[in-house]
Structure 1
Amino acid sequence: MSRDAARARVAMVEGQLRRRGIRDERVLAAMERVPRERFVPAVLARDAYDDGALPIGAGQTISQPYMVAAMCELLALQGGERVLDVGTGSGYAAAVLAELAADVVSIERIPVLAERARATLAAAGYARVDVRVGDGSLGVADRAPFDAIAVAAAAPDVPPALPAQLGPGGRIVVPRGTRWSQQLVLLTASRTGLVERGTVACRFVPLVGAGGFEDDGEPLS
């Protein structure tokens, strides 16, 4: 399926990303290089480049290609950064981030998904991604500070542990809202605090943990 997949990646970049306003050429090139079909269940490989999220097991999904690209573009990575990927899932977004940054740490709360993602990343040539198991809403303090943090799950607010792990001028992208509807928000660390900019509407699976939702979808107090 390699030739078909390569053509599908080009079609995805041109039809789903560029036409919807993704302009960062580094992001577009990264999305064209990462073999998305390797990060979905084998039975869904032919659907890997569809314009939507796909199930990966354990009640989780691989995000829509456009949403991965949009988050990466908002982070404005130049190549030398250390990035935290919250919500590893299949490992696909971590692979795209690894194409764009020097050092990627990814954290997943579901051990079976973390183990699978670690193996998939290694097989796809991204073994340097540091995959951790734990509560992603708490970040990965022993690898901080981060230049950028991408949160691939919905939170009722920005998990308070994450801004504390940003370096000067660092950026966080997070889907913020309810369990059912969110807005993708960019926050940039400045001398006076976080500067916020809202972007597109979105819908992600909930971020479960101390800084997210409980398993039933209610915010933790």
Structure 2
Amino acid sequence: MNAPARARGRFPLRLEQLRAAPAKPLAAAPGPQGIGLDSHGVRERLLQRLQAEGLRDARVLAAMRAVPRHAFVDTALAAQAYEDTSLPIGLGQTISKPSVVARMIELLIAPQPAGKPLRLLEIGTGCGYQAAVLAQIGRFVVSIERLKPLHDRARENLAASRTPALRLVYGDGRLGHAPNAPYDGVIAAAGGDDLPAAWLDQLAPGGRLVAPMLDARSGRQALVVVDRREDGSLARSEHEAVKFVPLKSGVD
């Protein structure tokens, strides 16, 4: 991606480096050539499938159009990057299905009017794909990863974008990230049998949390949405079944 000549930014960005700026499409990282994965047509076919399945938010569509998913997966799996499937990224973790990414982000930003500058918190950076999509939508995004090798990999994957809107943090996701709270949205890429209090405490009035959570009655995971009303009270709803890796505390 072309940019004015200047020193390259590094992750995590210091707060003084952050500024409000429109997100830009990500340049594809070096990867497989000659297989058409850098073609916008490939991404468009995926988006058409997602729209046929119910995706409507123009902000989510534009963000997913701008981010090359194949740049975030191993070369051996790149040919499957635009199939609606999760793919392994190492250490027992996966990059979520595009349909799940789209659904969760659409739920996350649904209460927020178009054009509002959003502050978002992601729990579980993984390879950095969803963080990249969120950075296309939010004015400022903090993404936390507890596994150091994945944190480092996400930094490499996202280095080419050099966006000041995204801050990567190595730390315990269950603690959220209080220094930059409150957030208009909190989204988790791992599920447990509870919602950490820190996530709810760091949610701004009018904000929304979207996370997978284990249903004690059925033993299955489902998407849970929690809205913080303007008066500070919380409203919770449960949505469709999902399957995410377990939410863990601490760092490795």
Alpha-carbon displacement from aligned partner over 1:103-136 (angstroms, at most 9, x marks no partner): 0000000011001101211224546411111110
2:138 and 2:165 in contact (8 A); partners too = no
Specify the code of the residue in structure 1 equivalent to 2:67.
V
* Unpaired segments ≥5 residues, structure 2: 1-32
Please give the alpha-carbon distance, in whole angstroms, between the structure 2 residues aligned to 1:128 and 1:38: 19
> 1:18 maps to what in 2?
51
Q: If each structure's helix is expressed as a fraction of its own residues, which one has the higher value?
A: 1
Cα separation, partners in 2 of 1:126 and 1:45, compared to 1, 3 Å? farther
Please give the alpha-carbon distance, in whole angstroms, between the structure 2 residues aligned to 1:153 and 1:90: 14
Deviant stretches of 4+, over 4 Å = none
2:108 and 2:185 in contact (8 A); partners too = yes
Q: If each structure's strand is expressed as a fraction of its own residues, which one has the higher value?
A: 1
1:4 Cα offset (Å) = 3.7
1:43 Cα offset (Å) = 1.3
Residue 249 of structure 2 aligns to a residue whose secondary structure is: coil
Give the number of equivalent residue pairs.
210
> 2:17 maps to what in 1?
none
TM-score with structure 2 length normalisation? 0.78
Question: Which is greater in Rg?
Answer: 2
Tell me which moved more, 179-188 or 4-13: 179-188
Please give the alpha-carbon distance, in whole angstroms, between the structure 2 residues aligned to 1:142 and 1:175: 24
Specify the code of the residue in structure 1 equivalent to 2:181.
A
Please give the alpha-carbon distance, in whole angstroms, between the structure 2 residues aligned to 1:70 and 1:132: 24
Equivalences for residues 67-86 of structure 1 within 5 A: 67-76=100-109, 77=112, 78=114, 79-86=116-123
1:92 aligns with 2:135: no
Determine which structure has greater relative contact order: mean sequence separation of CA pairs < 8 Å that are 6+ residues apart, divided by chain length.
2
1:42 aligns with 2:75: yes
1:8 aligns with 2:42: yes
Tell me which moved more, 77-86 or 135-144: 77-86
1:24 Cα offset (Å) = 0.5
Tell me which moved more, 86-95 or 177-186: 177-186
Cα separation, partners in 2 of 1:119 and 1:127, compared to 1, 3 Å? farther
Percent identity between matched residues is 45
1:86 and 1:136 in contact (8 A); partners too = yes
2:192 and 2:247 in contact (8 A); partners too = yes
TM-score with structure 1 length normalisation? 0.89
* Unpaired segments ≥5 residues, structure 1: 216-221
Please give the alpha-carbon distance, in whole angstroms, between the structure 1 residues aligned to 2:146 and 2:51: 33
Please give the alpha-carbon distance, in whole angstroms, between the structure 2 residues aligned to 1:29 and 1:181: 32
2:94 and 2:126 in contact (8 A); partners too = yes
